[in-house]
Chain A
């Protein structure tokens, strides 16, 4: 089976930085996505990594190490609107997406 682990909850202060880790053990790997999901809304695409290294997109960055089965999503200059669930998802060999359970980030003033 697929095993994708991420912390359940994280809390941080407005303006701070938070790093959400994701470790995976899957049968096959064709890349990793990060999605953001606000309560009651659809998940929205944040980032995609397939090669080792850091991908930066404004305040959000995502890192991947294939040899370690590890990724993280870095949120900088946190804003209240960043309070949401963040989902790590691995693309398997048959292009199915397998999701982690999600990390709920709460940003406090």
Chain B
């Protein structure tokens, strides 16, 4: 069974640009969550999608948005990039609901110049 796949693995952007990151969950998993990981803040929850609907949202500004498609693949978009957005963005999927463990992708390393 293939794991969670994130593309691209690395990305370099400049301030003010926008970026779209992609995540393909494990086959059969309908829940996809996104996290931002930085050395100082650890793993911060961005949002969760389930069956194409945003089910939970963290405390990030509106520049961070996402969506989920009917095949459960998800995209995350960040507009008007800032230097502080430099981070590892991790996507995780889980099967079923409730207390199933999340399975993480390798992440997209985003660097803002």
- By a beta-carbon cutoff of 8 Å, the part of chain A in contact with chain B is 30-31, 33, 35, 41-45, 48, 50, 87, 89, 91, 94-102
Residues of A within 8 A of B42 (CB): 87, 99-102
With a cutoff of 8 Å between Cβ atoms, the chain B residues found around residue A95 in the complex are 48, 55-56, 97-99
Q: B102 to A45, Cβ gap below 8 A?
A: yes
Stretch of B61-69, B74-82, B103-111 with 4 or more beta carbons under 8 angstroms from chain A? B103-111
A31→B94 CA distance, assembly (Å): 15
B35: A residues at CB distance < 8 A: 99
Q: Report the bound CA distance from A80 to B56 in whole Å.
A: 38
Chain A residues whose C-beta falls within 8 Å of the C-beta of B44 in the assembled complex: 99
Query: Contacts of A43 on B, CB cut-off 8 Å?
Result: 43, 90, 104
Least CB distance from B6 to A in Å reads 9
Residues of B at the A interface (CB closer than 8 Å) are 4, 33, 35, 41-45, 48, 55-56, 58, 90, 97-99, 101-107
Distance in angstroms from A101 CB to nearest chain B CB is 4
Determine whether the beta carbon of B99 is less than 8 Å from that of A30: yes
- Complex CA distance for A3 and B60, rounded to whole angstroms: 18
- CB of B20 to closest CB in A, whole Å: 20
A31: chain B residues at CB < 8 Å are 99
* Cβ-neighbour of A96 out of B56, B90, B97, B101 (below 8 A): B56
- CB of B102 within 8 A of CB of A42, answer no
Cβ A97 vs Cβ B102 within 8 A: yes
Q: Which residues of A contact B97 (CB under 8 A)?
A: 95
Whether the Cβ atoms of A42 and B33 lie closer than 8 Å is no
| 6 A-B pairs whose Cβ atoms sit less than 8 Å apart in the complex | A87-B43, A91-B99, A94-B55, A97-B45, A101-B42, A102-B43
Give complex CA distance A30, B44 in Å.
Answer: 19
Provide the bound-state CA to CA distance between A48 and B4, in Å.
Answer: 20
